[in-house]
Structure 1
């Protein structure tokens, strides 16, 4: 069992939400870091970063729910790596995760593996869906800025003597590099 401090972390997503319930549940912690910010990623969460910097070997990092700490497996893995590197245990009250015990470490690793498996399944399904959509003729990416007639006009302007490529770009509201790309991609190919 760890002999260091218990460091709590609480987070709500918006200023309209309250931290009271989480703070009550973390009342046995020696120090609590808390903030009101979105949890989409660990970036932009200064109190979380401060808490992770603050913890030391033998401390226990405590949160009420896993989603208060991380919203993705990638972010969670990064946080856990930081805690492991500092020899800090993790306790998640609502999920019953307690890495100070052998069973808690096992449970946490199983949950993390299931989360990673789920993420890979979603990625695989997305790839399959994209391939099927492409086969049906669906085009991905930004819609073209110019219509077919405008591209034909651009080619005509490009080939006209004395017509500046910068002026063409400004006229069609695109960059000079797009002018050259569209010309190269769309001009009639000589046989």
Structure 2
């Protein structure tokens, strides 16, 4: 039985070091991490790799359920895929595992709460933006990536990995910018 940890943060500005340390302290032999939204499974290649790697008796461990996903259906599908491979899923905070039937019920409820929380966050954000717009204070989101710089570097023959490293973003973001330009 191998314990495999999965850490995730949503934005480049965030750090998953605390999650990784906690997963290692929990006995995870392998810890994979990525910076990508948990709203859906799109672009979550590290998670897909872990699920593909899972063997009978292995355990996928995450610090909190929202690290696994913020959509109830996605969370339940992830759990189902793990179980199809004979593996278990364990959430550390609050401690819940799919080793027992009660764990499935609790995970389903927690998944619904995470999804509802995400909706509330988006709603509050939308209300705040509308309020700022009506007061003339809204200037739009902060530009995080220099699209023109990515295109210039790519045109000069610089690879996606080097561009991502130079600009402090992910390769996936570089590819998205380049695909959008084509």
- For residues 18 and 68 of structure 2, the distance between their equivalents in structure 1, rounded to whole angstroms, comes to 16
Distance 1:118 1:72, change over 3 A: closer
State the secondary structure of the residue aligned to 1:39: coil
- For residues 20 and 114 of structure 1, the distance between their equivalents in structure 2, rounded to whole angstroms, comes to 24
Counterpart for residue 173 of structure 1: none
Q: Which deviations, in whole Å up to 9, do the C-alpha atoms of 1:151-189 show, x marking residues without a partner? A: xxxxxxxxxxxxxxxxxxxxxxxxxxxxxxxxxxxxxxx
Question: What count of residue pairs does the alignment treat as equivalent?
Answer: 114
Q: Structure 1-normalised TM-score?
A: 0.55
Alignment of 1:41-190 (within 5 A): 41-100=40-99, 102=100, 105-113=101-109
Q: CA deviation at 1:77?
A: 1.3
Q: Structure 2-normalised TM-score?
A: 0.57
Contact 2:71 2:114 survives alignment (8 Å): no
State the secondary structure of the residue aligned to 1:95: coil
Counterpart check, 1:23 vs 2:17: no
State the secondary structure of the residue aligned to 2:40: coil
Q: CA deviation at 1:20?
A: 1.0
- Select the structure of larger CA radius of gyration: 1
Q: CA deviation at 1:116?
A: 5.5
Q: CA deviation at 1:39?
A: 1.1
Q: CA deviation at 1:71?
A: 0.6
Distance 1:111 1:6, change over 3 A: closer
Q: Which deviations, in whole Å up to 9, do the C-alpha atoms of 1:84-112 show, x marking residues without a partner? A: 10010111001110223x3xx30332441
Counterpart for residue 5 of structure 1: 2
Q: Please identify runs of 4+ aligned residues in structure 1 that moved more than 4 A.
A: 113-119
Distance 1:60 1:114, change over 3 A: closer
- For residues 47 and 22 of structure 1, the distance between their equivalents in structure 2, rounded to whole angstroms, comes to 15
Contact 2:71 2:112 survives alignment (8 Å): no
Distance 1:117 1:19, change over 3 A: closer
